Amino acid sequence: GAVVSQHPSWVICKSGTSVKIECRSLDFQATTMFWYRQFPKQSLMLMATSNEGSKATYEQGVEKDKFLINHASLTLSTLTVTSAHPEDSSFYICSAITTGGGPLAQHFGDGTRLSIL
């Protein structure tokens, strides 16, 4: 089945630093990837939609300059949290969808737990 690899799985860093999270589709080409944020005991909140070769589309209320998304190839999207602060601590999940239509499900990475001290 389709596999999405997300790295790192857990990162702890100091306030003010930038953190990059990678999302890779291992055995399929993903024209579109999604980035979600999940607070404890809550549902997934879509942050942005990332299309290969074009600028990401951000959801309302998500700061573009804070959460930089790059989708440079059909198998890799990155999320960079710039100048991270404690309020950015959360669980971040990426997902990828294969090309074509139909009832294709999103394939999720295992998530990244980000802790900002």
Partner 1 sequence: AQTVTQSQPEMSVQEAETVTLSCTYDTSESDYYLFWYKQPPSRQMILVIRQEAYKQQNATENRFSVNFQKAAKSFSLKISDSQLGDAAMYFCAYRTLYGQNFVFGPGTRLSVLP
Q: Which residues bind partner 1 (CB under 8 A)?
A: 32, 34, 38, 41-44, 46, 49, 91, 93, 95, 97, 101, 103, 105-106, 108, 110-111
Which of 113, 103, 112, 108 minimizes the C-alpha distance to 26?
108
Least separation in angstroms between CB 83 and partner 1? 26
Q: Which is nearer to partner 1, 75 or 95 (CB)?
A: 95
Least separation in angstroms between CB 49 and partner 1? 6
Q: Which is nearer to partner 1, 34 or 116 (CB)?
A: 34
Each residue of 15-47: b (16+ CB within 10 Å) or e? eeeebebbbbbeebebbbbbbbbeeeeeebeeb
Q: Which is nearer to partner 1, 74 or 111 (CB)?
A: 111
Q: How far apart are CA 102 and CA 85, in angstroms?
A: 40
